[in-house]
Structure 1
Amino acid sequence: MHLIDILVFLLFTGGIVVFGCSFFNRKSSSDEFTNAGSNIPGWVVGMSIFATYVSSISYLGYPGKAFAGDWNAFVFSLSIPFASYFAAKYFVPFYRSQSSISAYSFLEKRFGRWARLYASSCYLLTQVARMGSILYLLALPMNQLFGWDIPTVIVVTSIMIVIYSIVGGIKAVIWTEAIQGIILIVGALVCLVVLLFSMPEGPLQTFEIGMKYNKFSLGSFGAELDKSTFWVCLIYGIFTNLQNYGIDQNYVQRYHTAKNEKEAKFSALFGGYLFIPVSAVFFLIGTALFAYFKVYPDLLPPGTKADYVFPFFIVNKLPVGLTGLLIASIFAAGMSTIATSVTSSSTILMTDFYSMIRKKAGDKEKLMVLKLGSLLIGLLGIFVAIAFLQVDSALDAWWALSSIFSGGMLGLFLIGYMSKKVRNIDAMIGVACGVILVIWIVLSSYVHANLAIVFGTILIFLVGFLSSKLIGNISKK
């Protein structure tokens, strides 16, 4: 890589770390560390939510999917307005009215401590798996393209993120994510413009070739449940995004950081809606790459995997300086998502575990636990990322793990939120049935794995509700 590109990359990534560390406050409290004093503008919180959506997986994966196939995965983005609306109307007011910043304190009030510990444990397992997959998938193309050692990239990236997360708390994470969000948007737009105007007959040629090869298709509208149809992607997206907005600590914690309820509602809508056009840009980049290498087939090495076509173009076809900017954009996407997991997971460790053991812990002690928790989560993320070197497909492994770990959380929340008659035992029975179904779907091939969260959530809700009716009627007799 050219020296100028290296300098641009180091300037952006190093600048992010320095910027995050600038939020250091000697007088910081545990509340300041976890909710930033509830004084962050709504648009900044919204950019943070957006940056949480866009990981290195989507930055590299979406163009790869569009290059190899079509826009079927874009249907996931189209489902976000449903979740954003429910978040602004119901979830934001609900969580801001709670006394705890934990997304799972409500479950303890509703069903008992087991429910809170179950949900928070699932959350922590999901976040560690998520961090590991993102760190690995961020390091992999850097190794393929530049020869950088994968474990070294994983360790250095994680250390940089943990440093400013510990020093500045949630305020540093949110503000750096806002900057990272801007960087990744600018980088993607610049790359798209270069691609479109690199076509010999102009930008319209990209769309002509895309239409000719059906690259803009959103997928089949059939009713198959074992294939990635339009409906499977849409329903999966609705349930996944409802879970993100409704019970994911990453999002719930951000609702508490906004200045007021109005700003928090705006952040939920802004962050979700912004992801739609930006994800469209990523898919259009993939289609443009297909058209570009269709016109210039000799420029792409034979056997190049779809996920590596975009990085190959960045390194070999962009002007000097822009290559560094795009690589910085990819790192920005990964760093923002990992930083969110670090701070939110350390918050859960303190509120849902440590505070239950040490109920009279002082503020300094809580602050120390938050910082040590951030360090612990960062280290676990490193170990999991290195462990991903042993799997055939990190992305498939992440999808399977996330489905199993988080498959029962949304259903448990919904029956507690929507029905006051469902009791502790009903919720336990529902969760047990739902988790068994999720594991079966993930391990079998009868139903598309994306539908695990859908059927798992529905079953938990139905079993919990029916149990409250049947067992409740029997107990009355």
Structure 2
Amino acid sequence: MTTIDVVIFFGYLIGITIFGSSFYRKNKTSSAFTLGDNQIPGWVIGMSIFATFVSSISYLALPGEAYMSNWNAFVFSLSIPIAIVVALYFFVPHYRKINSPSAYTYMENRFGSWARIYVSTCYLLTQLMRIGVILYLLALAIHAIFGWDIATIIIVTGLTVIIYSVLGGIQAVVWTDAIQGIILIAGALFCIGYILVYLPGGPEQLFAVAMEHDKFSLGSFDLNVFESTFWVVLIYGTFINLQNYGIDQNYVQRYVAARNDEEARRSVLYGGLLYIPVSAFFLFIGTALYTFYSTSAGQIPADLMEASRSDRIFPYFIVHELPAGITGLLIASIFAAGMSTISTSLNSSATVFLTDYYERFFKREATDKDSMQVLYISSLLVGTVGIGIGLSLINVTSALDAWWKLSSIFSGGMLGLFLLGIFTRKKNVKGAITGVIAGILVIMWLSLSKLFQLEETLGYQIHSYLTIVLGTTVIFLVGFLMSLMRSNSTSS
């Protein structure tokens, strides 16, 4: 790393903090903090939705995945249009009509306050761990590049995002997301161009090597639930993206923040569709790096060839192959991907604290001053806890792996209950509660059996991607059948 790289990196970090904090003057009311007074341009919201899709994990993991295997992960992106169509014709008009900053007001209207508390609690727990995990993994990448202390990186990054998120509210979040999205796209495109230029055989060599080693494969098309086939990833991606667009506060809050229904729909369309080619860029980088190093155009340490260290391949290339100045820009783009995700989680979590807890159970007629205090304090609290979780994960990779397996417990329960609310007309609270309990038990069983490696004893090994699919399906079917039984008993 050269001095100019360090200057560019810190220049970005300071610049984005000052820019985000500058929205403080427009952030004097709770409506401005949570919805930007409904004056945010649609293209900015679209870029923010895109940036929410892309975290620093995607920036590092997708190239590593393509390097080690193939383009099977791209099938997840191919499922996005399915969720977009549902969002355009149902989710966006649905939430725009409710006109609440919280995605979970609907759950209370449908099943009662317990449903709102359950789903919002799941969301908050997910966001806390998400912030901690991203801070930790981002610090690992930066530590590998600069050699800086991991704990220091976690604290500095966390505090930086907290400062501009608290001062600037959602306007700071979406505008910085837009800038960070542009930076990470530019960085990916530059890397692709650089590799193609410096390969001895040019693009022809890249495609020849990739085709020879089946690097562009989307996975097996067999109907096999035990492996990461095309169909398993497609079904998994459809459920995850329906959850994102249908009940994730990060997305719903942006629908409501748009100026009008048309801009809200346009932001959903553009933000989701933009991720598809960008994810392909990241996978193409991984394939290009495979050709770059396998043809001796560059040398890579043997220890990075382990599957568990694949996310360090791209950072290694950035540091050792790119020219001075560009390296700093690419490191900044990795940070941009992580910071955009964290800032979104901070603002949306604070909004949930205000609307789903404070205004619902503590002070229904809260003044705007009271609301702003809650938003500031909750943002700071969520950020601080997230930093603490990130620090606790240092050198505890088993805990990190366990969290990603158990996170499906929260997400599966949320989506299943939401779908139950959509497709059942009568308010059957007992059926909903029974469905949630049954679904969570299924999800916990599948997750824990993998966590404690019980698959061989049990005689099965269903792919972990299907955990949320099965759990969500059980919640919906049990709740739906109980609602149907109640309807028949009432009519008889």
Alignment TM-score, normalising by the size of structure 1:
0.98
Q: What 5-or-longer segments of structure 1 have no aligned partner?
A: none
Residue among 466, 485, 488 paired with 1:451: 466
Give the deviation of 1:393 after TM superposition: 5.1
Cross-structure match for 1:418: 423
Name the stretch that deviates more: 268-277 or 442-451.
Answer: 442-451
Give the deviation of 1:207 after TM superposition: 1.1
Point out 4+ residue stretches in structure 1 off by more than 6 angstroms: none
Give the Cα separation in 2 of the matches to 1:371 and 1:12. Answer: 25
Residue among 305, 318, 323 paired with 1:319: 323
Please, what is the CA RMSD of the aligned residues? Answer: 1.4
Cross-structure match for 1:462: 477
> Partner letter of residue 346 of structure 1?
A
> Partner letter of residue 321 of structure 1?
G
> Partner letter of residue 411 of structure 2?
S
Cross-structure match for 2:272: 272
Are the equivalent residues in 2 in contact too, given 1:422–1:465 (CA < 8 A)?
Answer: no
Cross-structure match for 2:371: 366
Cross-structure match for 2:95: 95
Residue among 311, 329, 336 paired with 1:332: 336
Give the deviation of 1:470 after TM superposition: 2.1
Name the stretch that deviates more: 141-150 or 332-341.
Answer: 141-150
Cross-structure match for 2:167: 167
Give the Cα separation in 2 of the matches to 1:127 and 1:427. Answer: 24
Q: 1:36 to 1:298 in 2, by over 3 A?
A: closer
Give the deviation of 1:298 after TM superposition: 6.5
Give the Cα separation in 1 of the matches to 2:229 and 2:403. Answer: 21
Q: 1:223 to 1:422 in 2, by over 3 A?
A: farther
1:423-438 alignment, distance < 5 Å = 423-438=428-443
Give the Cα separation in 1 of the matches to 2:222 and 2:288. Answer: 27
Give the deviation of 1:41 after TM superposition: 1.1
Are the equivalent residues in 1 in contact too, given 2:200–2:297 (CA < 8 A)?
Answer: no
Q: 1:136 to 1:424 in 2, by over 3 A?
A: same
Are the equivalent residues in 2 in contact too, given 1:165–1:173 (CA < 8 A)?
Answer: yes
Other structure's SS at 1:22 match: helix
Q: 1:189 to 1:238 in 2, by over 3 A?
A: same
Cross-structure match for 2:412: 407
Give the Cα separation in 1 of the matches to 2:194 and 2:6. Answer: 20
| Counterpart check, 1:381 vs 2:396 | no
Are the equivalent residues in 2 in contact too, given 1:141–1:311 (CA < 8 A)?
Answer: yes
> Partner letter of residue 314 of structure 1?
I
1:175-194 alignment, distance < 5 Å = 175-194=175-194
Other structure's SS at 2:23 match: coil
Other structure's SS at 1:126 match: helix
Are the equivalent residues in 2 in contact too, given 1:441–1:448 (CA < 8 A)?
Answer: no
Residue among 439, 445, 462 paired with 2:444: 439
1:24-423 alignment, distance < 5 Å = 24-25=24-25, 28-296=28-296, 299-304=299-304, 305-355=309-359, 356-392=361-397, 396-423=401-428
Give the Cα separation in 2 of the matches to 1:14 and 1:407. Answer: 38
Q: Deviation string for 1:73-114 (max 9, x for gaps)?
A: 111011001111111111011001114211000110111000
Give the Cα separation in 2 of the matches to 1:394 and 1:204. Answer: 43
Give the Cα separation in 2 of the matches to 1:474 and 1:288. Answer: 63
> Partner letter of residue 251 of structure 1?
Y
> Partner letter of residue 315 of structure 2?
P
Are the equivalent residues in 1 in contact too, given 2:439–2:472 (CA < 8 A)?
Answer: yes
1:11-26 alignment, distance < 5 Å = 11-25=11-25
Aligned pairs, number: 477
Q: Deviation string for 1:303-322 (max 9, x for gaps)?
A: 11321111001001001111
Give the Cα separation in 1 of the matches to 2:145 and 2:323. Answer: 17
Give the deviation of 1:472 after TM superposition: 4.0
Are the equivalent residues in 1 in contact too, given 2:100–2:256 (CA < 8 A)?
Answer: no
Give the Cα separation in 1 of the matches to 2:27 and 2:79. Answer: 42
Other structure's SS at 1:71 match: coil
Give the Cα separation in 1 of the matches to 2:373 and 2:298. Answer: 57
Give the deviation of 1:473 after TM superposition: 3.5
Q: 1:413 to 1:260 in 2, by over 3 A?
A: same
Q: What 5-or-longer segments of structure 2 have no aligned partner?
A: 450-454, 456-460
Are the equivalent residues in 2 in contact too, given 1:422–1:464 (CA < 8 A)?
Answer: no
Q: Deviation string for 1:274-329 (max 9, x for gaps)?
A: 00000000000000010000011771112113211110010010011110010000
Q: Deviation string for 1:391-442 (max 9, x for gaps)?
A: 3257633421320122111111111122212511110011110111111111
Other structure's SS at 2:95 match: helix
> Partner letter of residue 323 of structure 1?
T
Are the equivalent residues in 2 in contact too, given 1:129–1:401 (CA < 8 A)?
Answer: no
Q: Deviation string for 1:116-167 (max 9, x for gaps)?
A: 0000000000111111111111000211232111111011001010101110
Are the equivalent residues in 2 in contact too, given 1:70–1:215 (CA < 8 A)?
Answer: yes
Q: 1:29 to 1:15 in 2, by over 3 A?
A: same
Are the equivalent residues in 2 in contact too, given 1:127–1:341 (CA < 8 A)?
Answer: yes
Q: 1:107 to 1:159 in 2, by over 3 A?
A: same
Are the equivalent residues in 2 in contact too, given 1:130–1:398 (CA < 8 A)?
Answer: no
Other structure's SS at 1:407 match: helix
Q: 1:43 to 1:254 in 2, by over 3 A?
A: same
Other structure's SS at 2:198 match: coil
> Partner letter of residue 132 of structure 2?
G
Give the Cα separation in 2 of the matches to 1:135 and 1:31. Answer: 29
Give the Cα separation in 2 of the matches to 1:204 and 1:260. Answer: 47
Q: Deviation string for 1:445-477 (max 9, x for gaps)?
A: 431111111111111111111011224434666
Other structure's SS at 1:303 match: helix
Give the Cα separation in 2 of the matches to 1:394 and 1:195. Answer: 36
Are the equivalent residues in 1 in contact too, given 2:27–2:168 (CA < 8 A)?
Answer: no
Name the stretch that deviates more: 333-342 or 406-415.
Answer: 406-415
> Partner letter of residue 253 of structure 1?
Q
Give the deviation of 1:13 after TM superposition: 2.0
Name the stretch that deviates more: 263-272 or 199-208.
Answer: 199-208
Give the Cα separation in 2 of the matches to 1:383 and 1:422. Answer: 40
> Partner letter of residue 3 of structure 1?
T
Give the Cα separation in 2 of the matches to 1:232 and 1:402. Answer: 19
Q: 1:27 to 1:223 in 2, by over 3 A?
A: closer
Alignment TM-score, normalising by the size of structure 2:
0.95
> Partner letter of residue 332 of structure 1?
A
